[in-house]
């Protein structure tokens, strides 16, 4: 069974290189990948350089567990160390934001950051404005319009070498 998945990608150590690597890995593993614009935001709750963040949409028949195992492998290949205390500056970070319509506290789905972080919700709005937030009757666009997140995010022009499928 094919599932629509949305991944959040971010980094603040060599962020352009890390996002390019993350996008390339996703495009290599999955067909019909859709990329949001990239946004720059200040680090929250830590002293460090600004983050670059984006959302990637894809369809897969992988289980959630298999997808998360693959994500950890890709993160490790690109220098992410999950053993460091959080929050911390980091290289490539990939998180499952939405896995179909799954709602699960144990799986952290939908990911709380969607409603808490402008750098997650805004890219979701960019690529899926009419997508319903699981368990609600509100679209991502409606959630964005009603939000009062108060975080400054700025579009950041990035070229992914036209490699979008």
What pLDDT does residue 163 have?
47
Q: Mean pLDDT across the chain, nearest whole number?
A: 91
What pLDDT does residue 156 have?
97
Ranges 40-44, 110-114, 131-135, 155-159: which has the least confidence: 40-44
Cis omega (within 30 of 0) for bond into 87: yes
**Does the pTM exceed 0.95?**
no
Sign of the alpha-carbon torsion through 115, 118, 120, 123: positive
Burial category of 149 from C-beta neighbours within 10 Å (exposed 0-12, middle 13-18, buried 19 and up): middle
What pLDDT does residue 164 have?
44
Of 74, 65, 66, 84, nearest in space to 9 by CA? 74
What pLDDT does residue 165 have?
43
Which tens digits make up the pLDDT trace of 45-98? 777 899 999 999 999 999 999 999 999 999 988 876 666 555 667 889 999 999
Q: What is the mean pLDDT of residues 96-106?
A: 97
In the chain, what percentage of residues exceed pLDDT 70?
92
Compute the distance between CA of residue 139 and CA of residue 123 in angstroms, rounded to an integer: 13
Which tens digits make up the pLDDT trace of 22-46? 999 999 999 999 999 999 998 877 7
Residues ≥6 apart with Cβ < 8 Å to 60: 2, 3, 5, 30, 67
DSSP three-state, residue 127: helix
């Amino acid at each position: 069974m094919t599932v629509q998945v949305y991944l959040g990608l971010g980094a603040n150590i060599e962020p352009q290189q890390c996002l390019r690597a993350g996008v390339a890995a996703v495009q290599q593993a999955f067909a019909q990948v859709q990329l949001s614009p990239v946004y720059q935001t200040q680090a929250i709750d830590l002293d460090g350089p600004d983050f670059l963040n984006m959302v990637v949409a894809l369809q897969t028949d992988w289980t959630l567990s298999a997808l998360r195992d693959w994500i950890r492998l890709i993160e490790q290949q690109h220098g992410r160390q999950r053993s460091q205390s959080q929050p911390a500056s980091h290289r490539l970070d990939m998180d499952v934001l939405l896995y179909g319509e799954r709602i699960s506290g144990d799986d952290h789905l939908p990911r709380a950051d969607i409603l808490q972080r402008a750098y997650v919700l805004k890219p979701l709005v960019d690529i899926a404005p009419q997508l319903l937030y699981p368990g609600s009757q509100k679209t991502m666009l409606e959630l964005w319009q009603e939000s009062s997140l108060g975080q400054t995010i700025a579009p950041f022009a990035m070229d992914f070498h036209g490699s979008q499928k």
